[in-house]
Chain A
Amino acid sequence: MATMVQAVRMALHVGETRLGVTDIFGEDVGPPLGGVFTATQGLKTAWNTPLDERGIVGAAIGLAMAGQCPVAEIQFCDYAFNTIDLLKLAGNTCWSSNGDWNCPLVLMTPVGAGIRGSIYHSHSFDAQATRLPGWKIVMPSNPLDAYGLMLSAIVDPNPVMVLLPKALLRVKAGPDELIPGEPEDDRTLSKMIDAPVGDRSSWEPRWPDTPDLFLPIGPLRLVRPGRDATVVTYGRYVPLARRIAEDLATEGLDIEVIDLRTLYPYDWDGLKASIRRTRRVLFVNEDTEITNFGEHLLRRTVEELFDELLAAPRLLAGKHLPGIGLADNLERASVPQREDIVASLRALCAETRSLSDFRAALALRLSKGNTDASEALALAYTRR
């Protein structure tokens, strides 16, 4: 039963032994440490770089252009901000050369709050990352997804950023999140692939035989179906949203939980289908709320689904603060907490636009020949 960080390590092992990964590198990524979160322990192509994030991203681009298959790590996404220039280049190499070059690289970096990381180990990167056209952006919420998305990232001919929610890195897999071939007992797995404390110079990992299980970049995951409202989230908030949905079920609220998994190119068809079913939606993430990726999803929801919504769509995100304070109370006041999500969902479910307004809006759309609306209209008359 792997943790997310072990799952990433196993995926990288598959990458370097079967999928052609040539370099896994970054600050403290090679031996002896194997990454500050241990994601790269025991890997034969892992090596340490100078403390130079621009150099790391630059080298990844150069290696990619020379036909290698690099996986680079930025130790914390908080330190990726000085690489934006190079990230833009990775994303525009194919486009600006009109398809002459592609730039196949993977960049992984831990993101988000939740480990009492204070001002510079709690940043989110989803808003920045999704502002980099030409990149694919994924964020797993459990070990199995991390494994499968990492494998897909490795074989993708484009730059792919794997955002790893720090708060989940050490969380063990749930019963439905086991990687085929891994030992079920976490102590057995740890003995096989975790580097020992102390001298590691003669240590060799014993890798479990795990398959090439590619989780496609793009499709979202329906974590829990529900009828009353949809929560759309990714990364750290997925397990929390699921637990909240289970709790609210006891109050009679039936919440659908969606794990977006891929932030770009995201699964709009899948999202739209869910929002159309529940007609209420809450987007949740922990990045600061101004010019937040959730705002983009909210905008599309309003533009494309306005007439079908029973309540104003909402975004619950981090406060627009310069940082996340260390003290528990400060962190809790900065990024969405369990009670914030519960309160938002209750308010969302309690709100209903006047049904007659709703029907009028739908009828108007129908009269303009929008047959899409007919199903929703039929629903509107039958539902409440």
Chain B
Amino acid sequence: MVSQVLSPPLPQQLEGPRPLDPALQIRIYELMLTTRLLEERLIRMYKQGDGFFWIGGPGEEAFNIPLGLLVRKGRGLDYDYLHLHYRSTGTLLAMGANPVDALRQMKNTATDPYSGGRNFVGHSSIRAWNVVPITSPIEVQFSIAPGTAMAQKRANSRGITIVQGGDAGTAEGDFATCLVWSSRPGAELPILMLVANNGWGISTPASTQHGEKYIADRGKAFGIRTRVINGNDPEEAYHELKEAMDYVRMERRPFLLEAQVSRLYGHSSASGANFVKNEVDCLAEFEHKLEERGLLTRARMDEMRERITQELLDASRRVIEEPQPDGATVWNHIFADRNYVKEGL
């Protein structure tokens, strides 16, 4: 498999993770499926001219959904701050985001709650859940995350800071910033650093640019606890993320977790957004497992797929009729009139 060519083999020989509670397995499956179908709907919208650009996370569902389910969701220092990347839609859906809002951002409607038609799909912002705006410059979130973590550490809160990016971006200085700032002696920060390693930076294979065996190893020099996991297995991802989050939450120290994932529709619409057959498909694998375990039948899964596909199609038809932002609104929100981020903390 290509992904194994691109990424070195996992360091530990796993016997396979403990199965999760059946209800949770089904919940994860539903969310993985919804996320995948949402991404496929977004790609369709792009291809039909209902959106200028697509980028998203098909291939990261098995990792992103457990993450979203495990987040301590809410506003303020006692909850987790999320500095995500443009492949994080699954995480947000698992937290309870409305898939229709992604369709709105795809179509850049005035009703897009994340940016009012200003930003690409996948660039969410939800202050009510501490989701800071996802931005295009690669890796900058790793320079910003220490700030929210510092505030949480000082508040003696239970909240942690979660920051996520890809593999190629770890070559940016911001990644080193995060390693240094989160491990200052005596001032260690409650940060969970996540690297979704899909082995690619647009068209450049990681193996041609990176000499380190595992990106996570870079944490070791700073005394940061690290882990490399198979991010294509939602159960392994769930257990590992939970353990890492518990550690960060309790110990108030950083953790660097590298998840090997797939990139199933290429980088973005700029590279065609076509399905690639030679990488592990976490959804297909999980379906297989659920079937084997007798938790869901193929027929039931097909039914779910059809229902969600139809719902998203109907929603997209409504969304494309929603109003576009008025040009005059470009002048709105250049400056804030109040200190929103401080209110109610």
Contact = CB atoms under 8 A, between A and B. Distances in A.
Interface of A: 22-23, 49-50, 52, 54-55, 57-70, 82, 85-86, 89, 93-104, 133-134, 136, 157-158
Contacts of B118: 95-96, 98
Q: B181, B334, B336: which has the most chain A beta carbons within 10 Å?
A: B336
A65 B140 CA distance: 15
A270 B277 CA distance: 65
A181 to B, nearest CB: 27
A54 B177 contact: yes
Nearest to A90: B144
Nearest to A48: B184
Given A52-B181, A67-B342, A97-B133, A62 B336 contact: no
Contacts of A136: 335
A103 B148 CA distance: 12
A55 B177 contact: yes
A333 B180 CA distance: 42
Contact of B336 (A55, A60, A99): A99
B341 A59 contact: no
Interface in B141-164: 142-152, 161
Contacts of A52: 173, 177, 180-181
Contact of B151 (A57, A62, A101, A134): A62
Interface string B58-78: 000000000000000000110
B151 to A, nearest CB: 4
Contacts of A98: 112, 114-116, 118, 125, 332-333
Given A98-B118, A99-B336, A63 B132 contact: no
A12 to B, nearest CB: 19
A93 B340 contact: no
B284 interface: no
A209 B149 CA distance: 34
Contacts of B301: none
Given A67-B345, A97-B115, A100-B133, A58 B334 contact: no
Contact of B147 (A64, A85, A95, A97): A64
Q: Binding site of B, secondary structure by majority: helix, strand, loop or mixed?
A: loop
9 contacts: A52-B181, A59-B147, A67-B76, A68-B151, A85-B140, A97-B115, A104-B342, A134-B334, A157-B337
Given A59-B146, A68-B147, 19 more contacts: A22-B151, A54-B174, A55-B180, A58-B143, A58-B177, A60-B147, A61-B147, A62-B150, A63-B150, A65-B81, A66-B81, A94-B333, A94-B334, A96-B135, A98-B333, A100-B340, A101-B341, A103-B336, A104-B342
Contacts of B177: 50, 52, 54-55, 58
B18 interface: no
Interface string B284-325: 000000000000000000000000000000000000000000
Given A62-B148, A66-B341, A89-B135, A158 B127 contact: no
B133 A157 contact: no
Interface of B: 76-77, 81, 112, 114-116, 118-119, 123, 125-127, 132-133, 135, 137, 140, 142-152, 161, 173-174, 177, 180-181, 184, 332-342, 345
A100 B342 contact: no
B147 A58 contact: yes
A100 B125 contact: yes
Nearest to B128: A100
B181 A50 contact: yes
Contacts of B116: 98
Contact of B146 (A62, A85, A89, A93): A62
B151 A89 contact: no
B341 A64 contact: yes
Nearest to B126: A100
Contacts of A104: 336, 339, 341-342
Contacts of A60: 147
Nearest to B337: A157
Nearest to B135: A89
Given A98-B115, A98-B116, A100-B125, A65 B150 contact: no
A233 B115 CA distance: 38
B90 to A, nearest CB: 21
Contacts of B125: 96-98, 100-101
A368 B44 CA distance: 55
A96 B332 CA distance: 10
Contacts of A101: 125, 127, 132-133, 340-341
A51 to B, nearest CB: 9
Contacts of A58: 140, 142-147, 174, 177
Contacts of A23: 150
Contact of A94 (B112, B336, B342): B336
A134 B330 CA distance: 12
Given A66-B147, A67-B345, A95-B333, A50 B184 contact: yes
Contacts of A65: 81, 132, 144, 147-148, 341
Nearest to B138: A85
Q: A95, A97, A102: which has the most chain B beta carbons within 10 Å?
A: A97
A157 B137 CA distance: 24
Contacts of B184: 50
A10 to B, nearest CB: 23
A67 B78 CA distance: 12
A85 B144 CA distance: 12
Nearest to B77: A66
B133 A57 contact: no
Given A50-B181, A67-B76, A68-B151, A102 B143 contact: no
Contacts of A54: 143, 173-174, 177
A94 B337 CA distance: 10
Nearest to A265: B335
B155 to A, nearest CB: 9
A158 B149 contact: no
B115 A55 contact: no
A62 B145 contact: yes
Contacts of B144: 58-59, 61-62, 65, 86, 89
B63 to A, nearest CB: 24
